[in-house]
Amino acid sequence: MSSGQPASPWLSIITVVKDDADGFARTVASIDSQDTDGVEHVVVDSSRPPLDLPSSVATQSWVEPAGIYSAMNTALSLASGDYVLFLNAGDTLHDPAVLARVRALLSARQPTWAFGEVEIVERGGTRTVTPRWDYAREQAGGFSGGHFPPHQGTFASRETLITVGGFDTSYAITADYAAFLRLSQVSDPLYLDLVIATFVEGGVSTTRWRDSLAEFHRARRNNLALHGTASLREYANTGRQFLRMAAYRGVWAKVAKR
């Protein structure tokens, strides 16, 4: 029986933006191309001056710049959808059918969280779709294999994400990763066999890769109960990732200087 109350949105798309009007416009255009029935768009803006936001934005707030994860927590508190997707300024949905397909999958299975692939645009313009994340294999290794679902491709129950603490702002780079580790302690995710979003490489997790690896390691130690073999594997994988990234960045830097 209907209570007479309007149904909550099935999805809140959350966008955090700071001084990136062009990137924000691309994000809005990609959302507007979708079937947005039952979808709300929540925007937290830290731009100076504040951006002119389109009428399609359901909820908006201007906040003092205090870091991306603080802004994402503010937006999470303003959202009302059953699920949330964080699509920040410059991120775009991969194709116009994405939300309709995701809605059908989530409605049928009703998972606590779910993930799909994302397309990464590298600095030179090369486009690469992330390989499927082998959740069971990564879980066995303490999620230290170096592959995890970016927030642009992850849908999470809003209430559950709030319950596990949202985004821990003690992490400057990897609070989204830490949040997903906590979600993994609640339930296993549903795999969505489609490309969700496109984003351009070059964020702080790319440019500050040493700091990001250290934060990934700290997040795993703080949020997972790793013991024995799993703990040793996590340390070994962290070391291998550092060596691999050091070699890759060193080679890239030499090529860039030519």
Residue 151 neighbours by CB distance under 10 Å: 26
Residue 254's pLDDT is: 44
Q: What is the pLDDT of residues 8-36, one digit of tens each?
A: 899 999 999 999 999 999 999 999 999 99
Residue 139's pLDDT is: 86
Residue 207 neighbours by CB distance under 10 Å: 12
Q: Tokens standing for 111?
A: 């998972």
Alpha helices (H) in 79-227, listed in sequence order: 98-109, 135-140, 158-163, 175-184, 204-207, 209-223
Residue 202's pLDDT is: 62
Predicted TM-score of the model (pTM): 0.87
Cβ(39)–Cβ(100) under 8 Å? no
Residue 225 pLDDT > 90, yes or no?
Answer: no
pLDDT band at 154 (very low <50, low <70, confident <90, very high): very high
Which of 217, 84, 58, 59 shows the shortest CA–CA distance to 163?
Answer: 84
pLDDT band at 248 (very low <50, low <70, confident <90, very high): low
Surface-to-core class of residue 218, CB atoms within 10 Å of its CB (0-12 exposed, 13-18 middle, 19+ buried): middle
Give the mean pLDDT of 24-51. 94
3-state SS, residue 213: helix
One of 1.10.1740.110, 3.90.550.10, 1.10.10.60, 1.10.3720.10 is the CATH number of 11-203, namely 3.90.550.10
Cβ(128)–Cβ(87) under 8 Å? no
Residue 161's pLDDT is: 97
- Residue 101 CA to residue 196 CA, distance in Å, equals 10
Q: Which residues of 47-76 are buried (b: 16+ CB within 10 A; e: fewer)?
A: eeeebebeeebbebeeeeeebbbbbbbbbb
Give the mean pLDDT of 193-197. 95
Q: What is the pLDDT of residues 198-211, one digit of tens each?
A: 988 765 555 577 88
Cβ(72)–Cβ(1) under 8 Å? no
Residue 147's pLDDT is: 76
User: Per-residue DSSP letters for 28-62?
Assistant: HHHHHTS--TTEEEEEEE--SSPP---TT-SEEEE
Q: Which residue has the higher pLDDT, 235 or 24?
A: 24
pLDDT band at 249 (very low <50, low <70, confident <90, very high): low
Residue 133's pLDDT is: 86
Question: Dihedral angle at the C-alpha atoms of 235, 68, 202, 170, nearest 10 degrees?
Answer: -20
